[in-house]
Chains A and B, each alone.
Chain A
Amino acid sequence: MKLSNHTLTNIQRFFVYLFLLILVVITLIPVWLLIVNATRSTLEIQQGISLFPSKYLMTNYKILLSKGLDLPLGFMNSLTIAALTTIITVYFSMLTAYGLVVYNFKGRKTLYNLMLVLVMIPMQLSIIGFYQWMSKLGLTDSYASLILPGIASAGSVFFAKQYLESIMIQDLIDAGRIDGASELSIFHKIMLPIAVPGMFTLGIFAFVASWNNFFNAFILITTRDKYTLPMLIQTLRGDVYRHEYGAIYLGLAASIVPIIIIYFLFSRYIVNGISMGAVKE
């Protein structure tokens, strides 16, 4: 009987792999098409789609350069913004969530409920109001307006709170207090190290969101030297009657690669144990 069980499992496994492969093909075809387009000329692209790469990669690259686009600068800008936003978001979300989880202060429930509600505000609309407000504060055209709002990211706090609730160990906190540590240093020295896996997960999502957030950066930043990579790529669409599609696709492909690398590097840290409060042993 052991033999047939084993075979049964193998058959199941076969079908699972088959299913996975089909899914991968569906997942990757559009990505492949995008990359292929990066190697084709504008005329080719305008006149159709192809599964096979063509020979215009270098041409497109030269076009990108000839437009005077400082791609490395745009890349650094995107990286800076995304990295800073991620760090700020993760840190302050953890901080706030810690406060909500560990301390029972008056208004705690209210604040938490308010935060849930904040998650639901539509972005596109508030952007104009946000811009005009930033203008009054004199913060337009500066990265501060993109990074600092990360301090009050309701969605991240939501996630962090659920996460902390499941991994929090009160005894450790008590022990820290016995040792005379201040509350803040308990947070930094005891809690944060335990929460690293969750922080990485939150961090990756925050990073991707910031990197791909074209719209906000676009409305708020005006000076070209401060453009993010997606914004630079968008300027290729500027010649209304003369889109250089080949170069655009190359640029798009180029802006995806860093993210993939970052994700690959950090994906091993994605926690294999987010239970968000369900499991208490």
Chain B
Amino acid sequence: MKRLLVILSVILAGSMLLSACATPAAEVEPPAVDQPVAEEPEVEEPVAEEPVVEEPVATEKTVLNVWSFTNEILTMAVAFEKTHPDVDVVYTMIPMTNGEYQTKLLATLGTDDVPDVVALEAAFVKSYVESDFLADIGDLQVYADELKMYPFVYEVGMADGIHKAYAYQATPGALFYRRSLAKEYFGTDDPVEMQEILGDFDKYIAAAEVVKEKSEGNTYMVASNGDFQNLFFANREQPWVVDDKLTVDPMVEKMVETVKIFRDNGYEGRATQWQEGWFAGMNDTLADAEGNPKKVFSYFLPTWGLPYVLEPNSTSADGASTTKGDWAVIEGPLPYQWGGTWLGVMDETSKMDLAKEFIRFCTLDEENLTNWATGVYTNEYLKAIDPNVPDDQYQAAGDFVGSQVVVEKITASFDDSAMSEFLGGQNSYGGFAAAAPSVNARLMQGSDDAIQRALNDPLNSYLEGTITLDEMWALWKDAVRNEFPELIIE
């Protein structure tokens, strides 16, 4: 036993010595500019990317490596190849359901295997923007200004005044409510009047009481308290971290209060976002454990929430229950934004100009953005450029893009769209366009996501009544301290 301990300590000591000599240099040097492509030359391309080339002998196409976590951008990549036939976009999709995308990206930082262009989701885009690994692409700002990109969109992509990421979509948040229920409880379902009634948070809480009374407790104002969080967080005056110190903005305290009010008064359905209960409320199949049917009056969802979440789930799986046509959208009590995908260029890339051009095309090209938003990129269109595109690859109309110029141009075209039908005739695009300008993302920081998520659990315990408010804050601070050793936390 003693011998073994000696052996162990020798190994440890030896390894420390060895590693002092053998470790990588403290500075991770980017590779020389004229290094070959990050992947092996005979890279087998993912199924989608055989470019349609007439000449059987391809002249050396430049390869551009793009990583993303959905197949959305693949559509733009194919469109890009149409206007840039000498480029071969190698598109790699890595899911981020359980953080795989982030882990994989982290592993490649600073190595040669890094992609040229990366897609970054709202939850982690700021960390990357703040890091040392994204390249400065500020010369694209001139296009952003031309297209009147919504400020919050490019603000997210900035750190210390340097532009590192741009986005094709804008994701302002909105409030969706049930028209029939609104008529019943408030006498009107008109969006303008509803915006008056629900125009700020105090009014919203008052309205919740009305809903509860008039429905005798059978209708919840919201399905889940998770719906609120984005709102309050987006309207703080101070960021979470100021000079390395954790700061709690009064808005956060207000959120905790509000959530408590909602829980105590039964205004919310206690569902968890993205789980059955939350979805059930969208198609009126929500029932409590005894089987009593319950309804949900409103949902806080962003632009993409409409086509991807609310609409598909507005009809129950067996088709028996539907709320189609019974919804309307308004700005709601507070402006906020939720989600979104940004594109950035990795510093290690050897194809800086091409990468920047790709980003310009995707996010700052008027024609592309217009086509994207109006559904020009159908499967047939894409297949005409590249026959290997999967059968379900297309971009439906309706994604809210980040350029005010484009938005104004196309809003009217959505008057008769399927989404408008869903909203009982209201033009969804117009609804979002109204909400977009007031969104502010200046306070966003890379550590936001982790800090905010650390609050969920203590908050829920507090709502259940198992801990006090002070204990909740203490628990939360412990959790944050665990994840951010360098933060000063009182």
Tell me if chains A and B make direct contact, with any CB pair below 8 A. yes
Using a CB–CB cutoff of 8 Å, the interface residues on chain A facing chain B are 41, 43-44, 46-48, 63, 66-68, 70, 110, 113-114, 117, 127-128, 131-132, 135-136, 140-141, 218-219, 222-226, 234-243
Interface of A is mostly: helix
Known: A46-B279, A127-B107, A238-B71. A135 touches B112 (CB 8 A): yes
User: When the two chains form their complex, are residues B113 and A140 in contact, meaning their CB atoms are under 8 A apart?
Assistant: yes
CB < 8 Å: which of B69, B95, B392 contacts A67?
B392
User: When the two chains form their complex, are residues A237 and B279 in contact, meaning their CB atoms are under 8 A apart?
Assistant: no
Contacts of A46 in B (CB 8 A): 276, 279, 313, 317
User: When the two chains form their complex, are residues A135 and B113 in contact, meaning their CB atoms are under 8 A apart?
Assistant: yes
Contacts of A47 in B (CB 8 A): 276, 279-280, 285, 316-317
User: When the two chains form their complex, are residues B390 and A67 in contact, meaning their CB atoms are under 8 A apart?
Assistant: yes
User: When the two chains form their complex, are residues A240 and B96 in contact, meaning their CB atoms are under 8 A apart?
Assistant: yes
Contacts of A66 in B (CB 8 A): 390-392
Known: A43-B313, A127-B107, A234-B100. A223 touches B44 (CB 8 A): yes
CB < 8 Å: which of B4, B46, B276, B308 contacts A48?
B276
Known: A48-B276, A131-B107, A219-B104. A224 touches B313 (CB 8 A): no
**A228 vs chain B, min Cβ distance (A):** 13
Contact with A along B388-429 (1 / 0, CB 8 A): 101110000000000000000000000000000000000000
User: When the two chains form their complex, are residues B4 and A113 in contact, meaning their CB atoms are under 8 A apart?
Assistant: yes
CB < 8 Å: which of A48, A223, A240, A241 contacts B43?
A223
CA–CA, A252 to B324, complex, Å? 33
User: When the two chains form their complex, are residues A225 and B44 in contact, meaning their CB atoms are under 8 A apart?
Assistant: yes
- State the interface size on chain B (CB cutoff 8 A): 50
CB < 8 Å: which of B8, B40, B106, B276 contacts A117?
B8
User: When the two chains form their complex, are residues B104 and A132 in contact, meaning their CB atoms are under 8 A apart?
Assistant: no
User: When the two chains form their complex, are residues B71 and A110 in contact, meaning their CB atoms are under 8 A apart?
Assistant: no
Cβ of B309 within 8 Å of any chain A Cβ, yes or no, is: yes
CA–CA, A173 to B140, complex, Å? 75
Which residues of chain B in 107-147 are interfacial with respect to chain A, using CB atoms and an 8 Å cutoff?
107-108, 110-113, 121
CA–CA, A240 to B308, complex, Å? 9
Cβ of B240 within 8 Å of any chain A Cβ, yes or no, is: no
User: When the two chains form their complex, are residues B103 and A219 in contact, meaning their CB atoms are under 8 A apart?
Assistant: yes
Contacts of A218 in B (CB 8 A): 100, 104
Contacts of B100 in A (CB 8 A): 218, 234
Contacts of A240 in B (CB 8 A): 69-70, 96-97, 121
CB < 8 Å: which of A68, A114, A226, A242 contacts B48?
A68
CA–CA, A224 to B11, complex, Å? 40
User: When the two chains form their complex, are residues B71 and A239 in contact, meaning their CB atoms are under 8 A apart?
Assistant: yes
Cβ of B200 within 8 Å of any chain A Cβ, yes or no, is: no
**A121 vs chain B, min Cβ distance (A):** 12
Cβ of B18 within 8 Å of any chain A Cβ, yes or no, is: no
CA–CA, A135 to B113, complex, Å? 7
User: When the two chains form their complex, are residues B93 and A238 in contact, meaning their CB atoms are under 8 A apart?
Assistant: yes
**B7 vs chain A, min Cβ distance (A):** 6
Contacts of B93 in A (CB 8 A): 235, 238
List 12 additional contacts besides A47-B279, A235-B93, A241-B309; criterion CB under 8 Å.
A43-B316, A66-B392, A67-B392, A68-B390, A113-B7, A114-B7, A132-B110, A141-B113, A222-B113, A235-B94, A235-B95, A237-B95
CB<8 Å pairs between A and B, sample of 21:
A43-B312, A46-B276, A47-B316, A66-B392, A68-B391, A114-B11, A117-B11, A127-B107, A135-B108, A135-B111, A136-B111, A218-B104, A222-B39, A224-B47, A224-B92, A235-B95, A237-B97, A238-B69, A238-B93, A240-B70, A242-B308
Cβ of B267 within 8 Å of any chain A Cβ, yes or no, is: no
Contacts of A141 in B (CB 8 A): 39-40, 113
Cβ of B154 within 8 Å of any chain A Cβ, yes or no, is: no
**B216 vs chain A, min Cβ distance (A):** 25
User: When the two chains form their complex, are residues A238 and B95 in contact, meaning their CB atoms are under 8 A apart?
Assistant: yes
